């Protein structure tokens, strides 16, 4: 019985010590992680809306973007949703008239390397520049897009392509309905 009590005490102390070290490490690194995320967000906004000089948050996931003269140049929307392997996070740029997308940038994804991860490749993301926001985006397989609301899905990664399209449609169309 003494042996069992001693093992329980030792394991409890080791668990408490380990937990304390993890809490300390988290508290130490959390501000730096938040700062890096904020820097990445700013860089992403400037990338999807290239003529931006400044921006301000105007909603939970929406940023109004302005040129150097203070004129509204567009909006940057944070969007996230489920992909094939996990969560996909991105920024979506929309012009000031809310009629066209100016681009997207995938910030975080854990899709299949070599296939689904191609959603973060410029060749895929560039397809969204100039797409209309007046209707849902569609993806086509094994053919070139024929309209201003279609993109070509990544061969072998249709689920990841569909996920990006669905995330963007949900975020953009939901946002447009509130305006």
64-117 pLDDT per residue, tens: 999 999 999 999 999 999 998 899 999 999 999 999 999 999 999 998 888 888
- Identify the burial level of 76 via C-beta atoms within 10 angstroms of its C-beta, where 0-12 means exposed, 13-18 middle and 19 or more buried: buried
Q: Which residues form the domain of 21?
A: 1-179
Query: How many Cα atoms sit within 13 Å of 38 on the Cβ side?
Result: 7
Count of structural domains within the chain: 1
Question: How many beta carbons lie within 10 A of that of residue 171, not counting itself?
Answer: 20
Mean pLDDT to the nearest integer, 147-160: 90
Mean pLDDT to the nearest integer, 143-169: 92
Long-range contacts of 49-57 (CB under 8 A, 24+ apart): 49/73, 49/74, 49/75, 49/76, 49/93, 49/102, 49/103, 50/102
Does residue 179 register a pLDDT over 70? no
| pTM (predicted TM-score) | 0.81
27-55 pLDDT per residue, tens: 999 999 999 988 998 899 999 998 899 99
Is the distance from CB of 76 to CB of 61 less than 8 angstroms?
no
Q: Give the distance, in angstroms, between the CA of residue 114 and the centroid of all CA atoms in the same chain.
A: 19
Give the integer Cα–Cα distance in Å for 104 and 54.
18
């Amino acid at each position: 019985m003494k042996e069992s009590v001693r093992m329980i005490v030792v394991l409890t102390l080791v668990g408490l010590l380990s937990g304390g070290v993890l809490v300390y490490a988290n508290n130490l690194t959390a501000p730096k992680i938040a700062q890096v995320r904020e820097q990445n967000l700013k860089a992403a906004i400037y990338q999807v809306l290239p003529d931006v000089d400044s921006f301000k948050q105007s909603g939970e996931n929406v940023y109004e973007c302005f040129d150097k003269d203070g004129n509204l140049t567009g909006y940057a929307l944070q969007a996230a949703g489920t992909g094939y392997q996990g969560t996909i996070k991105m920024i979506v740029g929309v012009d000031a008239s809310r009629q066209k997308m100016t681009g997207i940038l995938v910030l975080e994804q854990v899709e299949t390397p070599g296939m689904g991860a191609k959603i973060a490749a410029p060749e895929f993301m560039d397809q969204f520049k100039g797409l209309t926001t007046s209707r849902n985006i569609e993806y086509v397989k094994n053919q070139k897009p024929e309209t201003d609301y279609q993109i070509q899905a990544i061969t072998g990664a249709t689920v990841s392509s569909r996920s990006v399209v669905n995330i963007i449609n949900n975020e953009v169309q939901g946002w447009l309905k509130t305006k």
